[in-house]
Amino acid sequence: MADSSAPANSPPGGRAQVVRTELAELLKLSWPVVLSRLGIMGMGLSDAIVVGRYSATELGYHAMAWAPTSVIVTMTVGLLSGIQVMTSRANGQGRPEITGAVLRRGLSYSLWMGLASTLVLIVGGPAFLHILGLEKDLADGASPPLIIFALSMPGYAFSVAASFWLEGQGRP
């Protein structure tokens, strides 16, 4: 009598084959996401290079303006990450027809979060820079770039929502 250590329902090739298959699927899904995130970092780097070549002072203003903006951006991305979770969950439950509702709700949330973020940054950002105790000329110099960053929030939040939905669909 032969003793088989693999269960009767295990795939051919055993556990190693399962790991290779899952890893291949993970890499197939992750490389576009990784490239997208690297592209965002590359845009930030090129932005700093261009501004820095223009003026070291303006680069300092740019960096000071980015500090409060990055907190709001991170919060917005974190709040929108549920789109990816709910989309994946619906697909995993075999209910892909409800992913459209997830997208619509997510895009609506992203629009409102983007507008609220813009308002908070435009109204409160310059005052926040002054409250931090920065010298008046530094806070005043960082305020215009902060307002420009703030104006990009609705579009950025919208693109994050759409991107998370596509990632949840397995189509990054």
End-to-end CA distance of the chain: 50
Report the 10 Å Cβ neighbour count for 95: 10
**pLDDT given for residue 166 in this prediction:** 92
Question: Across the chain, what does the average pLDDT equal?
Answer: 88
Is 103 strand, coil or helix?
A: helix
Taking the C-alpha atoms of 114, 115, 117 and 118 in order, what is their torsion angle to the nearest 10 degrees?
110
State the Cα–Cα distance between residues 80 and 119, nearest whole angstrom: 18
82-116 pLDDT tens trace: 999 999 999 999 999 999 999 999 999 999 999 99
Give the pLDDT band (50/70/90) at residue 13: low
